[in-house]
Amino acid sequence: MDAEAAKLVGAGLAAIGAGMAAIGVGNVFGSFLESALRNPAAADGQQGRLFIGFAAAELLGLLAFVVAMILIFVA
């Protein structure tokens, strides 16, 4: 495999990371909704923590995107 093809394959593999981050983000919001329906009164107070968890899970997917961009355009 020549280097250009390897770069594109690597960029494609980085998309797996984006999919994994999608699972993570879905998990964060899903778990939040599940417990918010059990105790709706306490849900509003936890919104900050919801977005902290969202941000942490999302960042790793964005890093996968950065890896793909670096492979295609920089490396």
Partner 1 sequence: MAEPGKVDPMHQFTIEPLFGTDQLSIAGYNIAFTNSALWMAIAAVALWLFMLGGMKRQLVPGRWQMAVESATGFIDNLLSANVGPAGRKYVPYIFSLFMFILFANLLGLLPLGLAGLHPFTFTSHFTVTGVLAILSFSIVLIVGFWRHGLHFFSLFVPHGTPWWLLWLIPIIELVSFMVRPFSLALRLFVAMMAGHVLLEVLSSFVIDSTNAGIGYGLAIGGPSFILMVAICALEVLVAGIQAYVFALLTSLYINDAENLH
Which residues of the shown chain bind partner 1 in the complex (CB under 8 A)?
A: 4, 8, 48, 51-52, 54-55, 58-59, 62-63, 65-66, 73
> Shortest approach of partner 1 to residue 58 CB, angstroms?
7
> Shortest approach of partner 1 to residue 43 CB, angstroms?
14
For residue 44, give Cα distances in angstroms to 7, 10, 36, 69: 45, 42, 9, 37
Residue pointed to by tokens 């996968």? 64
- Do 72 and 11 form a contact (C-beta atoms < 8 A)? yes
> Shortest approach of partner 1 to residue 56 CB, angstroms?
9
